[in-house]
Structure 1
Amino acid sequence: MKRHQIITAAFLGSAIALGGLTVGAGTAHAADRAGKESAKKEAGPTVRAEIGNPLKAAQELVKAKKYKEALAKVREADGVADKTPYETFVMEETRGFILMKTGDQGGAAKAFEAVIGTGQLSEEDRLKRVQAVAQLYYQAKDYARSASWTQRFLKEAGPNEDMRTLLIQALYLSGDFATAGKELTALVAAKEKAGQPIDEQSLQFLANIAVKQKDEAGYVAAVEKLVRYHPKAEYWQDLILRMQKKPGFNRDRLSLDVYRLMLAAGVLTRGEDYVEMAQLALGDNIPGEAKAILNKGFAAGLLGTGADAERHKRLLAMAEKQAAEDQKTLAASEKEVDAAASGGPAVRLGDAYAGHGQYQKAAAWFEKGLKKGGLKQPEDARLHLGIAYLKAGDAARAKQTLGAVKGGDGQADLARLWQLVKAG
């Protein structure tokens, strides 16, 4: 999320240009004033000399960068009693401008608050001052006041992404993490609905807000969005690690499925992980998958080198032999599997076809197995069906199937993360 920068230009087009300040003659006779009444109306409101003259002097001092002396002249004008709203407006506008020059953002914000309170501004200029007050308080690190004035601006001026960003930052820095998270979540949701890009910093900020609130579910949801819109290895690794640490996750039964997800997400980076994944596949009688995994490990330069090079080669030779034998029997076993009373054999055949990269056939057998029923782990089969659809290029069915996966052992979490994997 980008840092909000204060907009000083709002003051440069001020309704009062000090050089054009109209100062009334404090010593003018009543008759002279009466005679010039219509001219005054046309020229606009005036400022009494005892106020206007110090302010004119303040302007000259500002030009000379003598800000301390300029502020003293403003205080001199402020000492005059019974100021009109317009005189207060001119004086506080001048004070605010000088305080900005000195770097006193908090003091400038208070001065412009007083300007707003005079009622002398047009609607457009009033909103500019409200915006500026919010920004100045932020610069002054008075985040609670900044948030309050930003909320006022958004309520009165309508949607403004920059100011909403300022609001979220101010809320966060003021310690109001709950409201900051609510605002940022709504902003992200609105962008998603409109099909607009979501910047990585905003999602990182959302994750950080969840950490501040100790909201694990909120944190995971934010990182899942990071994976969706800005896929990086560190985000995937974080999600997969947290998934495995969830209470009830069956790591023993779902280890191969975890490795499959890691491979698809591009975070399977160690040679020993490729070896273990291949061994798990061989143990589940899916030699085609074991062969494919090992070939990828060799292609990546993670296997076939170092002290274990010969062991890697022997494992690959064994996987290749078993995969070749398996492929010869697949078609012949279809009739037998079709005749089985339960869906278990069909699901195992689906796993075998998927291991050989034949995902359309795999999906067909997973469907048959689920339809027949009698499965010990039907949600595992549904997960594998969704993955087969995804790898076969059927994104719509993959999304529908993966979205329907249930199960408290970890299948539902795996299915949700598979929906973040790019097809192919």
Structure 2
Amino acid sequence: MRFVTPVALALALALTGGVVAAPAMAAKEKKQSGPKLNVSPEVIKALQAAQAAMEKQDFAAAKASLAEADGLSKSNDDKYQVGAIKLNLSITSKDGALQGEALAQMLDSGLTPAENLAQFNEIAANGAFQAKEYDLAIQRAQAALQAGAKPESVQVTIAQAYFGKAGTANAAVEPARGFNQQGLAALKTAADALKAGGQPVPAQWYQIGVSRAAAAKLPEVAEWAKLAYAAEPSGENLRTLIRLFLQANPTLSNRENLDVYRLMSASGGLKVAGDFMEYAEMASKTGSYGEVKSAIDAGRAEGKMSATQMADFYQIAVDKIGPDKASLPSGEADAAKAANGKIAASVGDAYLGYANYAKATAMFELAKQKGGVDMDETNLRLGIAKTLGGDMAGAKAAFTAVQTGARKQVAELWLTYLASKGA
């Protein structure tokens, strides 16, 4: 008696007397010889009844005959063959639960052909994960790897199983923290394998890494955020990276904070009312009245802020903008005559706040030329002016010149943004 099921796993199984052929993979377009089995006569009889029922599409009767065969099985040969027929039935009847049972039976018999071990274990691992049998899923997946399965698929199952073991509550407390670490290691291995094969890594993998690392309070969260942004350079992913930076650096000055929010704005990372409001607040604290107004205008235009939120900040900024702008031409003249670059840097700050990037660039370059200024801040702001003005190459050079402290880290965030733009 012989039958072939060209669906799903496309397994070919044969039953003839007491000697049966093992599953062969149709995708390879050739039959593979399986183990030579000595199946008990009573088991053969039950299996023949199961096959006859399958040919009639009577799946209930086939399952009943297989259950009878299970009860009669004594040796691993019996168990393997029952599992093989059961697997065929699971494919024909599209019964996922039965498929998992069949694969487990075949694998546990120790008789599965070497050429099937990787695929069978991988499928069994996925089934165990779906059933929330996380330890079994890890065991099957590791067996699949040992049999030669591709790590980019199997390691993902291992990662998911460890995350399942960790759960979502108390993620930073052992043993959940350790499970998250193991899951992240597996996910990183899967991602590295994809990249090594020249395939793109789904940004979602990295976003899951960020979420898990953040919940478990693991130090590698920033690295996962960088990878997520590199895979999908969106404002949302850069926002995550920026927020992690701000959390790790709570003592930034108002001026340093402002340059971070400028990046969030430039990259489209201002997403909620708090983002726009914090940007406006930092601009107000540093006297950048043009940005106070533009930040609040943007928040209102996107429906994130109401007309009454930060109304006092807004009105103060509007009242000051006119006189402030009027003073800039004389400020430029004073900067040109000054012995150092402090006035030029201050005027450059103002022009940057009013989105006059050409003027800001000229003033920051004059400030550098005259000296007597904080060169790291001046280079950082020169880089921002050049970025927003469209000079990406010049911006990259300016950011690279920032050498120390928190400003160097802020400059590196801007460089990360530039890299996504091809600069």
The alignment's TM-score, normalised by the length of structure 2, stands at 0.69
- In the alignment, which of 55, 58, 73 is matched to residue 69 of structure 2? 73
From the superposition, tell whether residues 195 and 277 of structure 1 become closer, same or farther in structure 2 (CA, over 3 Å): farther
Any idea what SS the aligned residue of 2:262 has?
helix
Distance in structure 2 (CA, Å) of the matches to 1:292 and 1:47:
81
Distance in 2 of aligned mates of 1:301 and 1:45: 71
Are residues 1:149 and 2:144 paired?
no
Give, in angstroms, the shift of residue 310 of structure 1.
Answer: 9.0
**C-alpha offsets along residues 236-274 of structure 1, whole Å, 9 cap, x if unaligned?**
665555444435623444343344344333347478657
Counterparts of residues 249-398 of structure 1 (less than 5 Å): 249-264=251-266, 265-267=269-271, 269=273, 276-277=281-282, 279-282=284-287, 312=314, 315-326=317-328, 328-337=329-338, 340=339, 342-370=340-368, 373-375=371-373, 377-398=374-395
Change (3 A) 1:51 1:292: closer
Does the 8 A contact of 2:376 with 2:402 survive in 1?
yes
Secondary structure of 1:181's aligned partner: helix
Identify unmatched segments of 5+ residues in structure 1. Answer: 1-7, 26-40
- 8 A Cα contact 1:290 1:319, kept in partner: no
* Residues 10/170 of structure 1: CA separation in 2 closer, same or farther (3 Å cut): farther
Distance 1:319 1:360, change over 3 A: closer
Change (3 A) 1:89 1:227: closer
2:111 alignment counterpart = 118
Q: Of 11, 15, 19, which aligns to 1:14?
A: 11
Distance 1:318 1:49, change over 3 A: closer
CA contact 2:122–2:149 (8 Å) conserved in 1? no
The one-letter amino acid of 1:55's match is: L
Percent of aligned positions with the same letter in both sequences?
25
Which residue does 2:125 correspond to in 1?
134
Tell me how far 1:323 sits from its aligned partner.
Answer: 0.3
Distance 1:222 1:277, change over 3 A: same
Contact 2:258/2:282 (<8 A) preserved: yes
Larger Rg: 1
Using a 3 Å threshold, how does the CA distance of structure 1 residues 69 and 407 change in structure 2: closer, same or farther?
same
SS of residue matched to 1:15: strand
Determine the structure 2 residue equivalent to 1:168. Answer: 159
Letter in 1 for 2:60: K
Aligned partner of 1:386: which letter? Answer: G
| Structure 1 length-normalised TM | 0.69
- Runs (4+) of structure 1 exceeding 6 A deviation are 192-195, 297-304, 307-311
Map 1:401-412 → 2, pairs under 5 A: 401-402=398-399, 405-408=402-405, 410-412=406-408
Structure 2 alignment gaps of length 5 or more: 1-5, 20-32, 167-178
Task: Call closer, same or farther: CA 1:178–1:351 in 2, change over 3 Å.
Answer: same
Contact 1:134 1:145 in 2 (8 A): yes
Instruction: Say if 2:49 is the partner of 1:54.
Output: no
Higher relative contact order, chain-length normalized (CA < 8 Å, sep 6+): 1
* Residue pair 2:83, 2:105 contacting (<8 A) in 1 also: yes
Deviates more, 1:235-244 or 1:292-301: 292-301
Match of 2:222 in 1: 220
* Contact preservation (8 Å) 2:18, 2:39: yes
- Please report how far the alpha carbon of residue 206 of structure 1 lies from its aligned counterpart in structure 2 after TM superposition: 0.6
2:83 to 92, 107, 129: 92
Aligned pair 1:201/2:204, yes or no?
Answer: yes
Q: Give secondary structure in 2 for the equivalent of 1:16.
A: strand
Distance (whole Å) between structure 2 residues aligned to residue 213 and residue 380 of structure 1: 35
Q: How does 1:18-57 map to 2 (within 5 A)?
A: 21-23=15-17, 49-57=41-49
Question: Shift of the alpha carbon at 1:205?
Answer: 1.4
Q: Does 1:418 align with 2:410?
A: no
- Matches of 1:45 and 1:307 in 2, distance apart? 79
Q: Offset at 1:148?
A: 3.4
RMSD between superposed Cα atoms in Å: 4.4
